[in-house]
Structure 1
Amino acid sequence: MPHPKDFFAVNAHDLRGFLDVLQCLYSLWLSAPKPPTREIRDRSAESSLSVAFPLVTPAYRLQATEDVRDASVVFGSSAAVPYDTIHDAFLAHVGMPTELVAIVDHGGDSMTYRELERLSGRLSAWLRSNGVGQGARVFLLIERSIAQIVAILAVLRAGAAYLSISESPFATLVPVAVLPHDSAYIIYTSGTTGRPKGVIVSHSNVCNLLCLSPGNLGIRPGTRVSQLLNVAFDMCAWEILGCLMNGGTLHLRGPHRQDWINVLKTVDVVISTPSILEQHDPADYPNIRVVATAGEPCPQSLADRWAQRAIPTPNNAVYILDAEMRPVPRGMPGIMWAGGRGVCMGYLNRPDLTRDKFLRDPFLVQGGMMYNTGDIGKLQEGGQLIHLGRVDDQVKIKGFRVELDGVTAAVRACPGIESACALLIGQDLWAFYSPTCVPTEEIRTTVVASQPYYAVPCKYHALSVMPLTT
């Protein structure tokens, strides 16, 4: 039986799971002479093994299901959310005895919470008088500024949802629709098929994440928070709303690189993507005490540079399931499904896609929905989640399955490489990297040392600057 070279380095928890699988297979083979079949392919060879059974014992499956139901939330404890809407959380900080500064722009202009409440309230009243209310959607075409923040709060206070298209490439592709009453905002993504997808995010989703620790990132009245990201990017809402719902002061960056540096040297809390953080040295910003990152895979080396540990958010769950929606054996990889109050409302005007990705959560007693993240992972003993890659990043090269994330990591491991990306273009595996000064042969030598021959890129292309998600 072929196996990974480091198989016997697994811990006892993973080994028990593997033994459960073997026990189940042997007993089923002996008891069923002509079982129905489904194909499971060995990742290390083209030979296939046909089985038709759940690969865990009935006792383990019952225990795994009960464990999920008993825990209710796999990674975060249950907690009461103090506010029902985003603007309720914001208004709670308006009447505080100390006059709090809400926003500071890159030119030094500022606005207090009282001023922001007054202006957003006036604009909200005007919107309502013109028929904008629950279920409506308001397009915001405003550059990064204090006025943009005023408009966002005004729309929310009117009961509508906002869609900021000031920097979105999908502005002309957005269909008109009436939204559910709890909708707060819509974020568009290109999607794996190239067709834009509008994700509807509710007040409940936002309040559960941003009003509770650790999702609120320890933001308190007076905490200085960065606003660096493109307003069309989903993490931008974490910056803006997470700050104003907890009494922080939002610092808006300007258009130039020095503006980014000025903000980073000022704030206490930074929310950004890994590729942006890679360009900066934590030692240059001793003022920063909290960093939150998402949107891209985060290399372990980057995480080690910026932070020591991460804490799960309350009222949320992560399940590791097989293709038949059953808990997988201990330590075995499966598809990661997200459950709990953080699951959003689905895709705008895409009921087909919503049905595929959002299913009723069978593990939570109180019900709800769960979402197929498309990630592959496993749970270690003690509940630690290990991310193994993406379902859609797995490709076939010369008949072998290859994880592009693994090839990317191998290229990035070469000394001198700052950014890398592996792509399958046609039948060729390409490696894109920066900076340009690293010789191709050095990169290839590094990759060959850790990857099988079929996972070694045949073409290399140096980039002066790696395109980033902002």
Structure 2
Amino acid sequence: MTSVVDPQARSTDTLLESAGLPAGDRRLFRQYGWGPARVVPREAVHKAIERHAAVDPAAIAVEHEGRVLTYGDLDRHADRLAAHLVTRGVRVGDNVALVLRRGIPMAVGILAILKAGAAYVPQDGRVTRPAALKHILATTRARLVLTQSDVPVALPSGQTSLDIDSFMEECGDFAPVNVDVPPGRGCYVLFTSGTTGMPNGVVITHANVVNLLHSEPGDLGIRPGTVVGQILSIAFDMAAWEILGCLTHGGTLLIRGDDIEETARRVDVLVATPTILASLDPDRCERVRTVAVAGEPCPRPLADSWARTKTFYNGCGPTEVTIVNTMQAHRPDADLLTIGKPLPNNTVYVLDEVGRPCPIGEIGEMWAGGDCVSAGYLANPDLNAARYAPDPFLGGGRMMFRTRDLARWTSDGQLEPFGRTDDQVKIRGFRVELDSVSAVLEQVPGCTRAVTLKLDSRTLVAFVQPATVDPGAARRAVAETLPYYCTPEVVYPVPELPMTSRGKIDKRLLTDLARNKENAG
């Protein structure tokens, strides 16, 4: 009988052996680092939405401030708009900007752009700066900007736009388009903050998105009739999890107004950043059965408070690896709050500074591989070369992405996070992980959120929420837990930590506030 050995497995074993890993660690590197293999549809994202519209056109697809849109109407409006986009010259592989505020036109615009074969480029029309928008439109070479009549958008000269809400009110015949969209084409282009002051555009493909949404636990258990909250900024990648995750499974997308909690109390599934979740009371959100957080470190007390009565997922993954590439269902009695394991068809490698596999249990940098890895940055070859690399473990021309997140494998194969490489700072010559300091502060009685910042080469400061936290007790907790150089010079209690438009802690604003306080003192 002939034994068939996977050549790539043999190649990986050779790489691991050359890295000096003992046999046991070589086995666990593969066992822990490879997510389960699952079969997912090889199709464009919107095909699943179209199927729900055909099967149950009367089901409610979207609700916003008392107005509802059925799946049948959503599909019809999107078909008509997609046909118009095609007549305007939009083709497969193009990019169409979506610059508006959350609402029903947002859902119609997304679906129409996908039906036309293009990728949507989401921006919040109320907060996007004109200079940033000009850069985004130039980088994506967007053929058209879809917006809405009540959102003033300052467009560059020569750029054409279309108000979705006005278009939806018009009548007229149209020929439905049936565009073949390969799964490897762009689904959306998400812009992340750049080191030069201008954002970087990341191309996320249909295949990337389908892999997350059509496998457990990334589907979040959403099924027809499930109500999913849409509370995040459309310019934030986790909003795609809310919107596309809901509509591809036949759920009802409940788009929030000004009151986030009013929406959260009415939904079954809630996707949020820890900062936003900390503003909500789990006891007042009795209907919620599933919560997923990502985007920034989650405090253990916050996770415990929601996991007592809900299914609570803690996840991790930058935009470049399609929203999240690891998740873990947390329990209050768990020893650790981890970010879990690689999701289906994904891989995670914990590597040292020169790219060698770390022994199991040793802290290293996470590199992500598999179907989550996006198509890269638009018009930025230098950044692509710095952050993406050929995957030596999967081979076959696959790429892996350098996340800059630090973690180690636990003994049972989960990833314990240790902040980011760019959150490591030098204080008095010593290396300090800012997230580790914040994690200690969040264990202080009464503290729900904390953030630690570097002011200069000798000074750390911290902000804690709420204002009733004892700053002296907070400093003592750090001094008793971490080395002396990790203790903040000052801890400022505040009623509530400020948020960016994407629902994360606004560290830039807090740094300015700390400097002002220091100068005033």
Shorter-chain TM range is: 0.7 to 0.9
Q: How far 1:206 sits from its partner (Å)?
A: 0.5
Q: How far 1:82 sits from its partner (Å)?
A: 1.8
> Could you tell me how far apart the structure 2 residues matched to 1:290 and 1:434 are?
25
1:292-331 to 2 correspondences below 5 Å: 292-307=292-307, 310=329, 312=341, 313-331=343-361
- Go from structure 1 to structure 2 and tell me whether the alpha carbon gap of 1:83 and 1:111 turns closer, same or farther (over 3 Å shift): farther
1:26-425 to 2 correspondences below 5 Å: 60=21, 74-97=33-56, 99-105=58-64, 107-165=65-123, 166=125, 167-169=127-129, 170-174=132-136, 175-177=138-140, 182-192=185-195, 194-255=197-258, 257=259, 260-307=260-307, 310=329, 312=341, 313-425=343-455
Aligned equivalent of 1:3: none
Q: How far 1:56 sits from its partner (Å)?
A: 8.1
- Go from structure 1 to structure 2 and tell me whether the alpha carbon gap of 1:228 and 1:58 turns closer, same or farther (over 3 Å shift): closer
SS of equivalent to 1:171 = helix
Instruction: Work out which structure has the larger RCO, using CA pairs closer than 8 Å and 6 or more positions apart in sequence.
Output: 1
Confirm or deny: 8 A CA contact 2:350 2:363 kept in the other structure: yes
Confirm or deny: 8 A CA contact 1:139 1:162 kept in the other structure: yes
SS of equivalent to 1:176 = helix
The TM-score with structure 1 as length reference comes to: 0.82
Aligned equivalent of 1:451: 482
- Go from structure 1 to structure 2 and tell me whether the alpha carbon gap of 1:67 and 1:267 turns closer, same or farther (over 3 Å shift): same
> Could you tell me how far apart the structure 1 residues matched to 2:16 and 2:462 are?
37
Confirm or deny: 8 A CA contact 2:418 2:436 kept in the other structure: no
Larger radius of gyration: 1
Q: How far 1:85 sits from its partner (Å)?
A: 0.6
SS of equivalent to 1:92 = helix
Confirm or deny: 8 A CA contact 1:83 1:89 kept in the other structure: no
Aligned equivalent of 1:461: 492
- Go from structure 1 to structure 2 and tell me whether the alpha carbon gap of 1:390 and 1:270 turns closer, same or farther (over 3 Å shift): same
Confirm or deny: 8 A CA contact 2:367 2:400 kept in the other structure: yes
> Could you tell me how far apart the structure 2 residues matched to 1:128 and 1:65 are?
52
Aligned equivalent of 1:48: none
- Go from structure 1 to structure 2 and tell me whether the alpha carbon gap of 1:326 and 1:66 turns closer, same or farther (over 3 Å shift): farther
Q: How far 1:458 sits from its partner (Å)?
A: 1.1
Q: How far 1:305 sits from its partner (Å)?
A: 2.0
Confirm or deny: 8 A CA contact 2:254 2:263 kept in the other structure: yes
SS of equivalent to 1:60 = coil
Which range moved further: 223-232 or 88-97?
Answer: 88-97
Confirm or deny: 8 A CA contact 1:227 1:250 kept in the other structure: yes
> Could you tell me how far apart the structure 1 residues matched to 2:198 and 2:442 are?
31
The TM-score with structure 2 as length reference comes to: 0.74
> Could you tell me how far apart the structure 1 residues matched to 2:441 and 2:412 are?
32
Cα shift readout 1:134-165 (whole Å, capped 9, x = no counterpart): 12111112221111110111011101111122
Code of the aligned partner of 2:83: A
- Go from structure 1 to structure 2 and tell me whether the alpha carbon gap of 1:281 and 1:440 turns closer, same or farther (over 3 Å shift): same
Which range moved further: 56-65 or 408-417?
Answer: 56-65
> Could you tell me how far apart the structure 2 residues matched to 1:56 and 1:437 are?
54
> Could you tell me how far apart the structure 1 residues matched to 2:102 and 2:140 are?
26
> Could you tell me how far apart the structure 2 residues matched to 1:371 and 1:55 are?
19
> Could you tell me how far apart the structure 1 residues matched to 2:194 and 2:303 are?
27
> Could you tell me how far apart the structure 1 residues matched to 2:18 and 2:90 are?
56
> Could you tell me how far apart the structure 2 residues matched to 1:67 and 1:436 are?
45
Confirm or deny: 8 A CA contact 2:33 2:348 kept in the other structure: yes
Q: How far 1:65 sits from its partner (Å)?
A: 5.4
What residue ranges of structure 1 are gaps of 5+ in the alignment? 1-53
- Go from structure 1 to structure 2 and tell me whether the alpha carbon gap of 1:208 and 1:58 turns closer, same or farther (over 3 Å shift): closer
SS of equivalent to 2:355 = coil
Which range moved further: 350-359 or 325-334?
Answer: 325-334
Runs of 4+ in 1 over 6 A off after TM superposition: 54-59
Aligned equivalent of 1:4: none
> Could you tell me how far apart the structure 1 residues matched to 2:303 and 2:474 are?
23
Cα shift readout 1:406-450 (whole Å, capped 9, x = no counterpart): 111222222222221111112321112232333432322222221
Code of the aligned partner of 1:315: N
Q: How far 1:348 sits from its partner (Å)?
A: 1.5
Q: How far 1:62 sits from its partner (Å)?
A: 6.9
Aligned equivalent of 2:6: none
Confirm or deny: 8 A CA contact 1:200 1:345 kept in the other structure: yes
- Go from structure 1 to structure 2 and tell me whether the alpha carbon gap of 1:251 and 1:58 turns closer, same or farther (over 3 Å shift): closer
Code of the aligned partner of 1:354: N
- Go from structure 1 to structure 2 and tell me whether the alpha carbon gap of 1:160 and 1:82 turns closer, same or farther (over 3 Å shift): same
Q: How far 1:380 sits from its partner (Å)?
A: 2.2
Confirm or deny: 8 A CA contact 1:61 1:327 kept in the other structure: no
- Go from structure 1 to structure 2 and tell me whether the alpha carbon gap of 1:57 and 1:340 turns closer, same or farther (over 3 Å shift): closer
> Could you tell me how far apart the structure 1 residues matched to 2:478 and 2:17 are?
36
> Could you tell me how far apart the structure 2 residues matched to 1:261 and 1:415 are?
25
SS of equivalent to 1:95 = helix
SS of equivalent to 1:141 = strand
Q: How far 1:262 sits from its partner (Å)?
A: 2.2
> Could you tell me how far apart the structure 2 residues matched to 1:98 and 1:149 are?
16
> Could you tell me how far apart the structure 2 residues matched to 1:369 and 1:62 are?
26
Once superposed, what is the RMSD of the aligned Cα atoms? 2.4
SS of equivalent to 1:155 = helix
Equivalent pairs counted in the alignment come to: 411
> Could you tell me how far apart the structure 1 residues matched to 2:40 and 2:18 are?
39
What residue ranges of structure 2 are gaps of 5+ in the alignment? 1-14, 143-181, 313-327, 330-339, 504-521
Code of the aligned partner of 1:122: R
Query: What fraction of aligned residue pairs are identical, expressed as a percent?
Result: 43
> Could you tell me how far apart the structure 2 residues matched to 1:330 and 1:442 are?
35
> Could you tell me how far apart the structure 2 residues matched to 1:268 and 1:83 are?
28
> Could you tell me how far apart the structure 2 residues matched to 1:236 and 1:155 are?
16
SS of equivalent to 2:21 = helix
> Could you tell me how far apart the structure 2 residues matched to 1:291 and 1:377 are?
23
Which range moved further: 339-348 or 362-371?
Answer: 362-371
- Go from structure 1 to structure 2 and tell me whether the alpha carbon gap of 1:293 and 1:110 turns closer, same or farther (over 3 Å shift): same
Code of the aligned partner of 1:87: H
